[in-house]
Structure formats: C-alpha cells, structure tokens
C-alpha cells in the first residue's frame, strides 16, 4: 500500500457532541477536526452554538483566515468596522489579523460551522483577545487543538 493510500485508510470520524465545549470566549465552541483529533496539518474546523444574548468576544487570528457558515438562526458579526447579519445558509471569511466579534441578538439559537487555516505555529498563538472575556468562561484554558505535525 502506498503512503497516500495508507493515510486514507486511517481516516477518523469525530462527533461534535463527543468534543468538550469551550466557553472561554463565549457561546459553545467545539473544535471537532484538528491536529489533536484527526492529525490535520493545514487547519481546524468546529461548531459554534449561541443562545439568544450570547456572544463570542472580539479577537483576531494573526496566522489564519476564518471561514464562518451559519447553518441555522441569525448571527450578527462585526468584522473590523463592518457589521453584517448572517442567516442560515450564509457565510463569510474573516481575513487574517482582522478583529472580529459575533453575537446572537435574536430569539432563536444560532448554530454555525467555522474553519481556520493555516494553523498558527503553536496553538497559544492562534488567537489574540481584544476585549474582556465573558466572566462565566474566563477560567477555561485556551482550546488545545494540537500543533502542526
């Protein structure tokens, strides 16, 4: 078996409900596919759930672009100075190093998918917070998505 075929033979399936939620920046963030969970080398992907009134604190990614796709609900996003509303079936890309914040000011839960790429050299360098974190989750550690292989 070739090396490429061997890699395909060990593809792992990961269920979002089996990944611990991280609420450090707000909402329910689950890093589902990452270097730690599936040995990815180019980025990571996960889910974001926001109840009405919840938000993800403003931050930026010095090494990565972020892709955000709303599956259901209505999400408001501030990307730099631009404010956008996204509904189910809509997405956007946050450029590298641009501060961004998302929140749910509606009455329905928001469920979204995110992907960041490329990976930061080390997980702790992946996010830079630019506003105070929500008090309820501030004690949680930075998510360990694992480093590049």
Answer whether 51's CB lies under 8 Å from 109's CB: yes
Domains of the chain: 3-137 (2.60.120.10)
Rounded Cα distance, 45 and 38, in Å: 11
For every one of its 149 residues, what pLDDT tens digit does the chain have, with 9 covering 90 and above?
566 666 666 788 999 999 999 998 999 999 999 999 999 999 999 999 999 999 999 999 999 999 999 999 999 999 999 999 999 999 999 999 999 999 999 999 999 999 999 999 998 899 999 998 885 544 444 455 554 43
Q: Where are the alpha helices (DSSP H) in 14-134?
A: 35-38
The Cα–Cα gap between 73 and 49 comes to 10
The dihedral sign for the CA sequence 107, 109, 113, 117:
positive
pLDDT on residue 138: 43
* pLDDT tens readout for residues 44-61: 999 999 999 999 999 999
pTM over 0.95: no
Beta-ladder partners of 110: 50
pLDDT given at position 137: 46
Contact 38, 105 (CB under 8 A): no
């Amino acid at each position: 078996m070739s090396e490429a075929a061997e890699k395909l033979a060990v593809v792992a399936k990961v269920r979002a409900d089996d990944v611990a939620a991280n609420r450090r920046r707000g909402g329910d963030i689950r890093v589902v596919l990452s270097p730690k969970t599936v040995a990815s080398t180019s980025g990571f992907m996960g889910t974001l759930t926001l109840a009405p009134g919840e938000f993800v604190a403003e931050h930026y990614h010095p090494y990565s672009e972020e892709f955000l796709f709303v599956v259901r609900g209505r999400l408001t996003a501030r990307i730099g100075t631009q404010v956008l509303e996204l509904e189910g079936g809509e997405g956007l890309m946050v450029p590298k190093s641009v501060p961004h914040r998302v929140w749910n000011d509606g009455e329905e839960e928001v469920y979204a998918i995110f992907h960041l790429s490329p990976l930061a050299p080390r997980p702790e360098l992946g996010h830079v917070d630019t506003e105070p974190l929500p008090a309820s989750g501030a004690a949680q550690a930075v998510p360990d998505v694992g480093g590049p292989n």
